[in-house]
Structure 1
């Protein structure tokens, strides 16, 4: 009989399985808030109309550094192959343009090819499969370092970080830079089984290249981590991934023309 996990234990697992990703050993981007947050913001209003109005005023152009990041203006399809079996992901650039654009851009650059899934949490209840640390390409990197790496832009020599991006239902644009209280207002991209989202450190704007697959409905993560797509085929492949398994390849099969890169 499967043990039922408590909300407290799930919250504990998220700290170990998600917040170590992104940039825990590197400097956070300069546009990050000074306060760390790992749970949905408590200051969000319970008035849906008021919240939607305030969110719509937070555009990507108003957030410093956003114009230097890739955007996905529309949708795309990415196929990740693991041990010869494909996983098809529908990437949603309409509701997560920066997060989706970052992911598709890294796929196009071949960043994910050969990387390992360094953290798999299935017990006592299915949770996440996490990968995307560029350090994992080198098999000599110690296992205790995996989960701390970020994508380093070869043009600048600096890590690329993206802001936390959450779109609430009823909003015209995403909200950025801080967790959103999804208990007061649902989000458009929830953590359902098969959701694909970005891992990050305790700083909201620290996601870079690490991502995870949700192995169950994880509604308590909504608003704290940015979902950017869903597995449409190959969830059975995701369910079989073991720690240390590598990505054979990651390819954009549709929607590549929707990726807009700066410059």
Structure 2
């Protein structure tokens, strides 16, 4: 019900229904399946444009979930260092060849299934990395950019291989990955 309510609220605030989304095919030791994300282009237009641009270029294909913390979130999207064949020790430190983005904070809370943009300490440092929430996490509200919400496949997200909490979610062994990321209309 919450997902329908959030979509309804966004529709009232932003006008027409949000049409852009992503189908993320995930594979690995933990999760295997497809997750659909509705993107909130009326809430975070610059960030959604970046994600869809990178997905359209195939930049997210083969990218690991490099930081996964049980009870918090699964982070991916390091198109520079976090790909198959790359050095896992560098994963999470890179971005794309495009400039960082200015923050597009909103009142949408970070609840289960929300997709947000990862960044460094600077609010204007998001680039290519994003994360999917396993649970509600109010301390992120209005401090990170919300870009979308998982509308199907959350059971797949729940299966993503977890990292060690003691090492800030770093994966031991082979991490799960995004096999392909496709923009949907």
TM-score range, shorter chain: 0.7 to 0.9
Q: Highest CA radius of gyration, 1 or 2? A: 1
Q: How does 1:146-161 map to 2 (within 5 A)?
A: 146-152=91-97, 159-161=98-100
Query: What's 1:209 paired with?
Result: 128
Q: How does 1:217-228 map to 2 (within 5 A)?
A: 217-228=136-147
Distance in 1, matches of 2:19 and 2:111, equals 19
Gaps of 5+ in 1: 1-73, 153-158, 168-186, 255-263
How far off is 1:140 after superposition?
Answer: 4.0
In 1, are the aligned partners of 2:55 and 2:181 still within 8 Å (CA)? yes
Distance in 2, matches of 1:76 and 1:190, equals 20
Give the TM-score normalised by structure 2. Answer: 0.78
In 2, are the aligned partners of 1:150 and 1:160 still within 8 Å (CA)? no
* Aligned with 1:114 (options 43, 47, 62): 62
Residue aligned with 1:196, SS? strand
* Aligned with 1:162 (options 93, 101, 120): 101
Query: Larger strand proportion, structure 1 or 2?
Result: 2
How far off is 1:236 after superposition?
Answer: 0.5
Query: What's 2:52 paired with?
Result: 104
Distance in 2, matches of 1:228 and 1:238, equals 17
CA RMSD, 1 decimal: 1.5
Residue 85 (structure 1) aligned with residue 33 (structure 2): yes
Residue 127 (structure 1) aligned with residue 72 (structure 2): yes
Distance 1:87 1:163, change over 3 A: same
In 2, are the aligned partners of 1:103 and 1:209 still within 8 Å (CA)? yes
Q: How does 1:49-68 map to 2 (within 5 A)?
A: none
Distance in 2, matches of 1:112 and 1:160, equals 17
Q: 1:128-151: per-residue Cα shift (whole Å, max 9, x none)?
A: 10011121214341x331110010
Q: How does 1:12-91 map to 2 (within 5 A)?
A: 75-83=19-27, 84-91=32-39
Q: 1:60-112: per-residue Cα shift (whole Å, max 9, x none)?
A: xxxxxxxxxxxxxx531210000251100000111111111111111111110
Distance in 1, matches of 2:115 and 2:22, equals 11
Query: What's 1:248 paired with?
Result: 179
Residue aligned with 1:231, SS? strand
Gaps of 5+ in 2: 1-17, 162-170
